[in-house]
Chain A
Amino acid sequence: MNNAIEINGITKKYKDFTLGEIKAEIPCGFATALIGANGAGKTTLIDILCGITAKNSGEAVYFGNMTDIDSTELKNRIGYCSSANFLPLDWNLKKTAAACELAFDNFDREKFSSICRRFKLGSPDDKKQKKIMKLSDGNKMRTYLAAVLARDTDLLVLDEPASSLDPLARDLLCDLFREYLSERDGERTVLFSTHNIADMEFATDYCIFMANGKVIEQGFVEDLKQKYILVHGDAENADKARPFMISFTGGRTSFEGIALAENRDMLSAYDTAIEAPTLQQLSVGILRKAEEDEEK
């Protein structure tokens, strides 16, 4: 399997936060979700991968053989978009189209207009233009997405695209990912970060979990769903089951948590219900464990 990006030992040190060492892969042809709580380092990692921030050490290899993120070719092939501080707030659709046309080789003005129409943002050719600062958060995000989707890129990197979108818009975002990927089947890749995978679950093929500046788990969604199980049981068996579980929440009548599938037999002996976890449940379990580990 080809990798769109191979991350080897990237680190970044801030005054009160350290990122690294990060070792991970973004597989080519699929949608990868970078999942973690706020402050886990997702934005820092994405910024480094897209050349927004400089790294302290390590390297990233793009499309198999490119390593200089400042090269014009890479900057054109990668479609980056963030959810905050992306475009100047006094810009409007017309200005955005004009700037993107100059800033990138592969910006398609027609496509931009049609995406804006699809997102109900108006048109860059309208006489009356609305400034971005006057838009709702959701429409701000839609504008940023329109700008990046109007470019013919090989890798889409989106920093928290779903955060300011309502569930309907998130569903549309999933469809957009699928359309983007199927336009050049197997050659395009999507990487997006999120702190809530719930609505994006079924458009996600590969996951990278981050906490406290480190990658704590990664893999294809199907493989992860086989590696982990979701366990429910009665409170009386809680203490017996607990040592085999990765994450654990116990109430007065029952307990629930994530465990490794290899402990399935042990756990089923304690009168438990075992099922495959959703990505959402898996995230909660893995991230909770990371939080507990950090507090120790």
Chain B
Amino acid sequence: MKKNNSTLSQALSIYTGDSIPKFILRFTAFATLLYAGTVLFFFLMIALQSGFSRTYEDFKGDAFIAMYIGMDIAIVIAVTLLSTYEKDEPGGKFFRSVSEGFDAFTKMRTALTLAVPASTIVSLAVIFLINTAAGFDKKIAAICLSTGAFLLLAIALANFLNMIGSKTARGLLTTLMLMIIGAGGAMLAFEKDDRLGIIQIIAAVLGIVLLPVSNRAFLAHYRKKRWDC
């Protein structure tokens, strides 16, 4: 029998259809389109009343641009992290029968814990470029960096929240937490007038440290409560 030990990328591919690079691409595309779409929508709505150039000036460095950066990416993160692959859901039984069993699931989750932060950073970079190109470049660098630092922490926290039993509670709390921290991180940089301080560094470091910790904790919990049952 051919020995089949999948890589992290392959394990992710079994569950989501995307290898890690493809995942990052898809995430980034979705997150940036969501952001661009949201901002464009509001821009057009307001511009049709107040005039294009006036709206353009207003938008430059407006608070809610910062907020949307945080919230839109937070939503995409939530959607990605909240898929559960339970036995009684479509696909659940197939994934349980995969030849590596729980190891394949572990590799998939670990791949996510690497790919989601990576995607977040790439998305923020692209959003930074979009904003610079559109001329909305007041404070935008700081906003993106701050959002990124806080979202790193939020992703680790999301892993912990994923251990909540009730599906509705899990979904609600995770999404809310991500959105609040995302928007909060963005607004912090906005208010602090372009200065990145010790807070962002602490958030980023904490996030990076907690990512593997939270992943391991989640996997242990998942194995006990929802796999070996």
State yes or no: do A and B touch (Cβ within 8 Å).
yes
Interface of A toward B, CB cutoff 8 Å: 47, 50-54, 70, 72-73, 75-78, 80, 82, 85-89, 91, 95, 98-99, 102-106
Contact B88 A85 (CB under 8 A): yes
Contact of B90 among A76, A89, A98, A103 (CB under 8 A): A89
B residues 1-57 in Cβ contact with A at 8 Å: 1-4, 6, 10-11, 13-15, 17
Contact A88 B91 (CB under 8 A): yes
Minimum CB–CB distance for A98 against chain B, Å:
7
Contact of A73 among B1, B13, B93 (CB under 8 A): B1
Minimum CB–CB distance for A60 against chain B, Å:
15
In the complex, which residue of chain A has the Cβ closest to the Cβ of B100? A72
Is B79 interfacial (CB-CB < 8 Å)? no
Contact A86 B96 (CB under 8 A): no
Give bound CA distance, A87 to B96, whole Å: 11
Residues on the A chain within 8 Å of B101, using CB: 51, 70, 72, 75
Contact of B4 among A51, A87, A88, A104 (CB under 8 A): A104
Contact B1 A76 (CB under 8 A): yes
Chain B: interface size category: 20 to 34
Contact B14 A87 (CB under 8 A): no
Is B166 interfacial (CB-CB < 8 Å)? no
What are 5 A-to-B residue pairs whose CB atoms are below 8 Å? A53-B229, A72-B101, A78-B97, A103-B99, A103-B104
**What is the interface of chain A mostly: helix, strand, loop, or mixed?**
loop
Residues on the B chain within 8 Å of A87, using CB: 90-91, 94
Give bound CA distance, A104 to B13, whole Å: 13
Given contacts A70-B102, A75-B98, A99-B13, contact A105 B4 (CB under 8 A): yes
Binary interface encoding of chain B residues 98-110 relative to chain A, with 1 for a CB under 8 A from any of its CBs, else 0: 1111101000000
Give bound CA distance, A91 to B90, whole Å: 10
In the complex, which residue of chain A has the Cβ closest to the Cβ of B88? A85
In the complex, which residue of chain B has the Cβ closest to the Cβ of A73? B1
Contact A85 B97 (CB under 8 A): no
Contact B14 A103 (CB under 8 A): yes
B residues 79-121 in Cβ contact with A at 8 Å: 87-94, 96-102, 104
Contact of A52 among B14, B93, B99 (CB under 8 A): B93
Given contacts A53-B229, A70-B102, A105-B1, contact A85 B14 (CB under 8 A): no
Contact B87 A53 (CB under 8 A): yes
Give bound CA distance, A280 to B99, whole Å: 36
Given contacts A51-B101, A52-B97, A53-B229, contact A102 B13 (CB under 8 A): yes
Binary interface encoding of chain B residues 209-229 relative to chain A, with 1 for a CB under 8 A from any of its CBs, else 0: 000000000000000000011
Give bound CA distance, A53 to B93, whole Å: 9
Give bound CA distance, A194 to B55, whole Å: 67
In the complex, which residue of chain A has the Cβ closest to the Cβ of B4? A105
In the complex, which residue of chain B has the Cβ closest to the Cβ of A147? B94
Give bound CA distance, A87 to B89, whole Å: 9
Give bound CA distance, A86 to B94, whole Å: 5
Minimum CB–CB distance for B52 against chain A, Å:
40
Minimum CB–CB distance for B96 against chain A, Å:
5
Residues on the B chain within 8 Å of A86, using CB: 90-91, 93-94
Given contacts A98-B17, A99-B17, A104-B4, contact A88 B90 (CB under 8 A): yes
Given contacts A52-B87, A102-B10, A102-B14, contact A72 B99 (CB under 8 A): yes
Contact A85 B91 (CB under 8 A): yes
Minimum CB–CB distance for A138 against chain B, Å:
17
Give bound CA distance, A85 to B89, whole Å: 6
Minimum CB–CB distance for B150 against chain A, Å:
32
Residues on the B chain within 8 Å of A76, using CB: 1, 4, 99
Minimum CB–CB distance for B10 against chain A, Å:
5
Residues on the B chain within 8 Å of A77, using CB: 1
In the complex, which residue of chain B has the Cβ closest to the Cβ of A50? B97
Give bound CA distance, A231 to B93, whole Å: 43
Contact of A99 among B14, B88, B92, B228 (CB under 8 A): B14
Minimum CB–CB distance for B101 against chain A, Å:
5
Minimum CB–CB distance for A14 against chain B, Å:
10
Residues on the B chain within 8 Å of A50, using CB: 97
Give bound CA distance, A54 to B228, whole Å: 5
